[in-house]
Each structure stands twice: as C-alpha cells, then as structure tokens.
C-alpha cells in the first residue's frame, strides 16, 4: 500500500524566480572612512532610491486546469485503491493502476509538457528582463565597452562605483550608516549574478535538446547573457578589491 500511494503522488513543478542570496562576508567599516559632503547649496546631491522590479511567476490558467485534471485522476486512483486494497486482490489493483495510467497517458504526457514549457518559458522571460533592466549592475557604465571599462584605472573605477552605490542605496533615516549601502550592493549584485547564471544554464539546456525555437530565447540572447555575466563579475571584483584594501589599511592603522 505505501509503495502504491507513493507511486501515485503527483509531481508538481516549482518555479523559483529569486533565490535568496547567501550571507555576505562581514563588511567592516571604521570611522576613518567618512563620507564627502558637497557644501555648495546649488549642487544638491541626487540619490536614486528606485527599487529594482521584482517579478513573480503566476501559474497560467491552462497550467492550472491541467494540474486540476491530474489531481482528479490521482484522487480517482486513490479511491480505487482504498476500496480494493486487500491482500487477495493486490494483483487486480496493480492491473487497475496500469490500465488507468495507460488510459490517461496522453493527459499525463500533455500536462507534463505544458507544465514544463510554462515554467521554463516564465523563467527565461523574467530572468532576461531582470538583468536587461537599466538599473541592473551588469549595465553599469553601459556607455563603455567591456574593454574600455577594463582600461580604466581600478582606483578611479572603484571611486566611481562607491559613489554610485552611495547614491543608489542612500539611507535617508541614517545618513551616517556607511555599511548599509555596501551590504545592499552585495545582496543585489550576488542575486543578479545568480539570475544571469540560471538564465544561461536553462537556455543552454534548451539548446542542447534542440528546442530553442519554441522557447523565448536564442543564440543572440545567450551571448548577451554571457557578456552581462562577464561584466558584472568584473564590477564585483572591483568592489571586493577595494574592500580588501580598505580593511587591510585600517588593520595597519589600528
């Protein structure tokens, strides 16, 4: 009975759009690192506190209907098992299950395909839109090519990056909180890296299965995702290099 019940449990597809970023390494900010204030009243700083859009994948009405159909089939099978589950007719139950699975084979196969297609397409669409948004860190300094970005002095690039981080994650309630912008930046950039990697992984899997024509992706989008990943990893490297140097300098001073 337990084996039969386990066999009849339907599989459900789960689409996870955002993965919670792992705990970031501790960021130590000492009082030595102080913000620079602009005393010119005509040059008031502008802070961009716009949040990045979040996307939630909803089950389509078609996928929902298919899921309800599978549930009805499973309930019917379970009812038959409960009515006839005795040691004497174990063989009859096995035969009944096989016959019902065979009878609904097209429904099961179709629902599995539709569910898989819907979930995969939703992930590809939302992930691509996420890292292609203007607020994505992989699009920071978009006016520069990756080669031009690498040619800029890392010290100058780190300074501009910290300025952008301060503007984007400025804490109005506590302007002297220097750790908040850095932690928020690490959370967002790690989440974006995971999303780009997930998109590349799913798109490559679809391509290997020769199904790329029926999904919302193509070779150009995959190539674009690789460039975004290369760029955002470089930006994170700039930040971590600055952070390491900053902590090392403070450790010597203390």
pLDDT at 175 over 50: yes
In the numeric block, which tokens belong to residue 214? 């029926």
Q: 190 near 202, Cβ under 8 Å?
A: no
Q: Residue 218, SS3?
A: coil
Is residue 112 in some structural domain?
A: no
Among 81-95, 137-151, 165-179, name the most confident range: 137-151
| Predicted TM-score of the model (pTM) | 0.63
- Is residue 123 in some structural domain? yes
Per-residue model confidence as pLDDT tens digits over 96-110: 778 888 888 888 888
Which residue range is the domain that position 89 belongs to?
1-6+59-103
Same domain, 242 and 181: yes
Q: Supply the pLDDT for residue 236.
A: 95
φ and ψ at residue 244, rounded to 5 degrees: -65, -45
Q: What is the pLDDT of residues 74-88, one digit of tens each?
A: 777 677 666 666 666
Same domain, 94 and 177: no
Residue 32 domain flag: no
Give domain status of residue 193, yes or no.
yes
Q: Tell whether 12 is covered by a domain.
A: no
Does the pLDDT at position 11 exceed 50?
A: no
Same structural domain for residues 126 and 215?
yes
Same domain, 142 and 191: yes
Q: Are residues 191 and 93 in the same domain?
A: no
**Same-domain status, 131 and 227:** yes
89 and 184 inside one domain: no
How many domains are there within the chain? Answer: 2
| In a domain? residue 46 | no
Domain end (from 70, 103, 136): 103
Q: Rounded CA gap, 143 and 133, in Å?
A: 15
Residue 67: the pLDDT is 66
Please report whether residue 34 resides in a domain.
Answer: no
Mean pLDDT of the chain: 76
**Cα distances (Å, whole numbers) of residue 147 to 134, 142, 151, 231, 234:** 20, 12, 6, 10, 11
Q: Is the dihedral of CA 244, 138, 15, 102 positive or negative?
A: negative
Among the candidates 103, 137, 155, a domain finishes at 103
């Amino acid at each position: 009975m337990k084996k039969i019940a386990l066999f009849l449990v339907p599989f459900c597809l789960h689409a996870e759009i955002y993965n919670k970023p792992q705990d970031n390494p501790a960021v130590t900010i000492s009082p030595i690192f102080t913000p620079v204030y602009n005393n010119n009243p005509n040059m008031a700083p502008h802070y961009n506190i716009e949040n990045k859009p979040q996307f939630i994948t909803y089950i389509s009405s078609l996928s929902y209907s298919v899921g309800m159909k599978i549930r009805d089939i499973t309930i019917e099978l379970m009812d038959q098992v409960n009515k006839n589950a005795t040691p004497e007719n174990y063989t009859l139950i096995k035969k009944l299950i096989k016959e019902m699975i065979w009878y609904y084979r097209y429904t099961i196969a179709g629902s599995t395909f539709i569910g898989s297609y819907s979930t995969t397409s939703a992930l590809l669409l939302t992930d691509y839109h996420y890292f292609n948004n203007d607020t994505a860190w992989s699009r920071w300094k978009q006016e520069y090519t990756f080669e031009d970005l690498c040619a800029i002095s890392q010290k100058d690039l780190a300074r501009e990056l910290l300025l952008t981080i301060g503007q984007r994650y400025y804490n109005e309630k506590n302007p002297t909180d220097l750790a908040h912008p850095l932690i928020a930046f690490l959370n967002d950039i790690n989440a974006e890296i995971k999303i780009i990697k997930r998109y590349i992984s799913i798109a490559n899997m679809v391509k290997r299965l020769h199904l790329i024509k029926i999904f919302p992706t193509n070779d150009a989008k995959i190539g674009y995702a690789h460039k975004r990943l290369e760029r955002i990893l470089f930006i994170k490297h700039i930040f971590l290099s600055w952070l390491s140097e900053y902590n090392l300098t403070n450790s010597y001073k203390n």
